[in-house]
Chain A
Amino acid sequence: MSAKTLYDKLWDDHVVRDNGDGTALLYIDRQLVHEVTSPQAFEGLRLAGRKPWRVEANLATPDHNVPTTDRDSGVEGIADPVSRLQVQTLDENCRIFGITEFKMNDIRQGIVHVIGPEEGATLPGMTVVCGDSHTSTHGAFGALAFGIGTSEVEHVLATQCLVQKKSLAMFIEVDGKVQPGVTAKDLILAIIGHIGTAGGTGYAIEFGGEAIRALSMEGRMTLCNMAIEAGARAGMVAVDDKTIDYVKGRPFSPREEYRDQAVAYWQTLHSDTDAQFDKVVRLDASTIRPQVTWGTSPEMVIDIDSRIPDPAREPDEVKREGMNKALAYMGLEANMPISEVRPDKVFIGSCTNSRIEDLRAAAEVVKGRKVADNIKLAMVVPGSGLVKKQAEEEGLDRIFIEAGFEWRLPGCSMCLAMNADRLEPGERCASTSNRNFEGRQGQGGRTHLVSPAMAAAAAVTGHFIDINKL
């Protein structure tokens, strides 16, 4: 048998049938459901008189619309009536169709991409989908995970399958050791800066190499989360002992009787040594510095010690025009050191960076310091109720609150500003989220993507700064 990539193995193990037209019917092990991209899918099922194929393969939670300040009055208390209806609709659909849901005030509620792994609902070797592009996160477990549209959410509900064309395979190898202060977020931003936001289009990316192996599971989730920002629907990391240890003993993890069999299978989930990739990209981890985005696309990213690029030096006309538009939108001048840029708000959260290790890294910077005077709002939004609880047990909430941060309830929050947490026009934000698109965090808002430690450092100094110089 010829050598296989991890992607080949995951793909082959899920093919229900080859359609003979370049597509396959692929079996889906897990679907995560949230309130924004599911109502029309449930409505479609109802209109066609269809039922979920395998109801227990689905797990739902509201995350995009939920308030992060006060939930004492429950869903009824959501101030925005349109948001409230969407959360109520999810509750109602899950009740009618019998889908397990962690409701808004359940301690297990949180961002879908945080709770899947936290609950063991994401396991190595699975196919995982969700009506959300950041589903690539789950690839950190050696799973094939990708975002889908609402029509496909309905398709999976009704058939437990998707019609898919196989992607090309890319291997991104990051060798060497990272410098102090360089995190998984900096690695993925540097990778996107290197290959571009369309660099992974049409590919499933496997990340490997010494620097990737050295990452914790949470770091690997941050990395795979932003594979979509490089254009790839799926990002993945091979299974190793860290993966197997992480999934042990979680509520949805294999029962004791199946565990040895599961582990034996999971240990095969890596690319064979002589497997062929369609494209290989290599980076040296030791050259990567803490990253900050300056523009309106994640590929517009530079080292913390750099100056904002000058469009005049860009030979490509379309790119030059894009840079000019980005600078105008961001209210920045070319050639200005990024360390002189002063945010108005700081957001620590999102499916990219809201897990316990992220909060610990930020708290370590914040401890004993105060939020700078020019920062109007600094907020921490844990990724789930359980992350929040753990952080509180470790005293992290007090560190943040004493420094002047707001300590919020779990959800997507200001990553995309569907709830009340948003930037006002012209406001600048140091954000641990994943997209710096125009208006992403609120109309006219200006986003700089950074790691949790870098966001914390910006909060306490009032400007971007190399975490090592603090």
Chain B
Amino acid sequence: MMEKFEKLNGIVMPLDRPNVDTDAIIPKQFLKSIKRSGFGPNLFDEWRYLDQGEPGMDNSKRPVNPDFVLNQPRYQGAQILLARENFGCGSSREHAPWALQDYGFRVIIAPSFADIFYNNCFKNGILPIVLDAELVETLFAEVEANEGYRLDVDLEAQTITKPDGEVIHFEVDAFRKHRLLEGLDDIGLTLAHADEIRAYEEKRRKTAPWLFQ
């Protein structure tokens, strides 16, 4: 069962660099886990800590980088990540949305996302929102100028409401919206079409038998 997303009012954390890749979101040494959870403490590990992170370390005892946004007191408890273009590029590792989700992020706003990462977010109850670059720029300025800056995100209405009451509309594919709102089990939905999959295979077995040899 997928995690649902409906509405959220949360603190916004700005991450002001373009092309944030999934290696930066969750470095490779943590991908050795065979579990789906527990990646949050190593989210942005190389930027967040001053030492070299390895699996199994007690993260609470590691020296933190005070300059990195995630460690700044004003952004503690943030659930909305404000990012720059091409966020989530690189590897297809679903560990990246797992780490963001485990840390507490439920919404990511950026001018653009890498395709695989974007798709992976929806599988994990995270809503990635694409906004116009100028709007993102405005949000960066407002977040940095106002401590405790929050946004109100409503997936059903496809709106973001700013503290000053301004409402921003965002686009999302209808099928993705539906699945996220309902927290639907993708595999169960597909298996409801098992007869059609079998019919396709029968047809294909005749036209391309070498694929079934």
- Convert B187-213 into 0s and 1s, putting 1 for each residue whose CB lies closer than 8 angstroms to a CB of A: 101110110110011001001111101
Contact B21 A437 (CB under 8 A): yes
A19 close to chain B: CB less than 8 A: yes
Contact B120 A149 (CB under 8 A): yes
Contact B174 A22 (CB under 8 A): yes
CB neighbors of A among B2-40 (8 A): 16-19, 21, 23-24, 27-29, 31-36
Question: Count of B residues near A, CB < 8 Å?
Answer: 62
Contact A19 B175 (CB under 8 A): yes
A466 close to chain B: CB less than 8 A: no
Residue of B nearest to A15 (CB): B200
Residue numbers in B under 8 Å from A258 (CB-CB): 209-210, 213
Contact A151 B116 (CB under 8 A): no
A393 close to chain B: CB less than 8 A: no
CB neighbors of B among A11-25 (8 A): 16-17, 19, 21-23, 25
CB neighbors of A among B130-158 (8 A): none
Residue numbers in B under 8 Å from A65 (CB-CB): 32
B161 close to chain A: CB less than 8 A: no
Report the minimum CB–CB distance from A239 to chain B (whole Å): 14
Report the minimum CB–CB distance from B208 to chain A (whole Å): 7
A318 to B89, CA, bound (A): 17
B119 close to chain A: CB less than 8 A: yes
A2 close to chain B: CB less than 8 A: no
Report the minimum CB–CB distance from A132 to chain B (whole Å): 6
CB < 8 Å A-B pair total:
196
Report the minimum CB–CB distance from B24 to chain A (whole Å): 6
A255 to B210, CA, bound (A): 7
A86 close to chain B: CB less than 8 A: yes
Stretch at the interface among B59-67, B71-79, B91-99, B101-109: B91-99
Contact A198 B24 (CB under 8 A): no
Contact A435 B211 (CB under 8 A): no
Residue of B nearest to A203 (CB): B115
Contact B120 A151 (CB under 8 A): yes
A197 close to chain B: CB less than 8 A: yes
Report the minimum CB–CB distance from A75 to chain B (whole Å): 14
Contact A154 B29 (CB under 8 A): no
A64 to B30, CA, bound (A): 13
Report the minimum CB–CB distance from B88 to chain A (whole Å): 10
Residue of A nearest to B24 (CB): A438
Residue numbers in B under 8 Å from A86 (CB-CB): 32, 34
Report the minimum CB–CB distance from A288 to chain B (whole Å): 23
On whether A325 and B17 interact (CB within 8 A), knowing A86-B34, A149-B123, the answer reads yes
Residue numbers in B under 8 Å from A425 (CB-CB): 52
CB neighbors of B among A31-58 (8 A): 36-37, 39-40, 43, 48, 50, 53-54
A151 to B187, CA, bound (A): 9
Contact A53 B197 (CB under 8 A): yes
Contact B112 A16 (CB under 8 A): no
B86 close to chain A: CB less than 8 A: yes
Instruction: Given contacts A23-B175, A43-B34, list 20 more A-B pairs with CB under 8 A.
Output: A16-B197, A17-B196, A25-B197, A39-B34, A40-B35, A50-B187, A53-B197, A131-B92, A132-B92, A150-B94, A151-B124, A160-B197, A167-B115, A198-B89, A201-B112, A319-B18, A321-B16, A322-B17, A322-B19, A416-B23
- 21 residue pairs of the A-B complex, CB under 8 angstroms, read A16-B193, A22-B173, A23-B175, A25-B196, A27-B204, A36-B93, A54-B201, A85-B34, A149-B93, A151-B120, A151-B123, A154-B187, A155-B190, A161-B197, A163-B186, A231-B114, A233-B116, A255-B210, A265-B207, A418-B29, A435-B23
Which 6 pairs from chain A and chain B are nearest by CB?
A: A254-B210, A149-B94, A39-B34, A149-B120, A151-B123, A147-B92
